[in-house]
Structure 1
């Protein structure tokens, strides 16, 4: 099957999904065509706290899925963390070169293998202003991936996550309300806070009063749901309002 035909077929399978149930069936078919047994479409949030608004669609073995969700691993999953440092799909076997793996990370990966989840391929789906997410394909331990089909997995994963956003989280709504968006000036203030500047220093940099800076930072804290100034940068990095380049730029 040539590239255009393969890509078109994967696109049609996903696009035809008119409901979440349809998408689940479509993803099983897509995974099979790509040589995988399992798939997972997920936002990288605490699924239990997000309720029914977050994307969480998969066909992983039930025992592993129950363990995963009961411990809210979606937030700390090393696969998810690795997807935050790249814009392109990656094999899980390459993660040690992407992020530091802790003892707990290695334990989680080992437990996954015990429950039948071997190597996989994950496509990042990070949309500014929304919770980060991804589409993963995987096989049971010991079953190799068809690496010649990974470029198609990249395409299909990105397309599938967009379909899930359309069906499950219209306009990026998580937890019943739109994801908060900082104004340009609020973002500027948070960025300088992240760089260690005081309100007075920020006021001099931006050419506004110190009181104006305090007001912008207060409103940013309220929007991002953090009580302390020191948590602003962490929250802004998490939701895409800031990047590490913004913070570390000299």
Structure 2
């Protein structure tokens, strides 16, 4: 039986799949943020250091003054959350992953400015593709208090929301050629169990195959779907209608 958080996650994904406007997507993410006690959010691609961030912003749920200041000063170049996002595709809570002692004075000054807007902690989801695309879905709060299941659910929702927004901005043309990707029945089965939060070991016990075989099946599916981790794989498979 699915938990309350798992049911919420699949309900949100189902609603995101049906929306037809950026305003609706914004409203859904606002509800999700409120559910997890988060104050603000944004979805954006990550530009190269010599570029400006403005064209990369897909959805802006920051306070207007902070958003304007961030873009005017191109703070992504010193933002430690962005720098952490470039290093790994694992979702993270800021207070867990960022050590103020390891950042320079400019980054510390930036963090001090963010605190003025009560952005003391947050949760960020890096999105990387095998082809080198980089993006972030990020949330801010005074304090982040989410169980691991909540973090996993928000990770999945964030990837799904990012891809939906990209689709809406391209006049509802699906961004993913993954809709034509052919997954084997076993790959679909393993991904479906992943969507239920099962580990490779648990899936191996359920299917009666080795854990190594499960990992190999999932790695093959990730390559087919141009994804870099299992959460992203599940989100993409759901978006493409390859699993339910």
1:119-151 alpha-carbon deviations (Å, 9 max, x no partner): 001011112445411111221x3x443334212
Map of 2:75 onto structure 1: 73
Query: Could you tell me how far apart the structure 2 residues matched to 1:116 and 1:8 are?
Result: 30
> Aligned with 2:42: secondary structure?
strand
Deviates more, 1:21-30 or 1:93-102: 93-102
Structure 2 gap ranges (5+):
176-244
Query: Equivalent residue of 2:87, what SS?
Result: coil
What is the CA–CA distance in structure 2 between the aligned matches of 1:20 and 1:99, rounded to whole Å? 39
Q: Work out the CA distance in 2 between the residues paired with 1:136 and 1:22.
A: 18
Aligned residue pairs, count: 169
CA distance in 2, matches of 1:11, 1:75: 32
Give the corresponding residue for 1:150: 151
CA distance 1:56–1:107, change in 2 (3 Å):
farther
Q: What RMSD in Å do the two structures reach over aligned CA positions? A: 2.8
Q: Does 1:104 align with 2:99?
A: no
Contact kept in structure 2, 1:44 and 1:75, CA below 8 Å: no
Assess, with a 3 A threshold, how the Cα gap between structure 1 residues 97 and 161 changes in structure 2: closer, same or farther.
same
Offset, 1:167: 2.0
Q: 1:96 to 1:5 in 2, by over 3 A?
A: closer
Q: 1:98 to 1:17 in 2, by over 3 A?
A: farther
Question: CA, structure 1 residues 50+84, in 2 after alignment: closer, same or farther (shift >3 Å)?
Answer: closer
Q: What CA distance in whole angstroms lies between the structure 2 residues aligned with 1:127 and 1:99?
A: 31
How far did residue 7 of structure 1 move?
A: 2.0
Give the conservation status (yes or no) of the 8 Å contact 1:24–1:57: yes
What pairs up with 1:1-250 in 2 under 5 angstroms? 1-45=3-47, 49=52, 52=55, 54-96=56-98, 100-129=102-131, 131-139=133-141, 141=142, 143-148=143-148, 149-168=150-169
1:125 and 1:158 in contact (8 A); partners too: yes
Determine the C-alpha separation between the residues in 1 that align with 2:51 and 2:5: 39
- Contact 1:120–1:136 (Cα < 8 Å) also in 2: yes
Change (3 A) 1:9 1:164: same
Does the CA-based 8 Å contact 2:93-2:121 persist in structure 1? yes
Q: CA offset at residue 20 of structure 1?
A: 1.7
Can you give the 5+ residue segments of structure 1 that lack an aligned partner in the other structure?
173-250
**Aligned-partner SS, 1:84:** helix
Bigger Rg over Cα: 1
Distance, in Å, in 1 between the alignment partners of 2:114 and 2:106 is 12
DSSP 3-state at the match of 1:88 = coil
Question: Is contact 1:43-1:55 (8 Å) kept?
Answer: yes
* Superposition TM-score, scaled by structure 1 size: 0.59
Q: Cα–Cα, structure 1 residues 38 and 92, in superposed 2: closer, same or farther, change >3 Å?
A: same
TM-aligned CA deviation for residue 98 of structure 1: 11
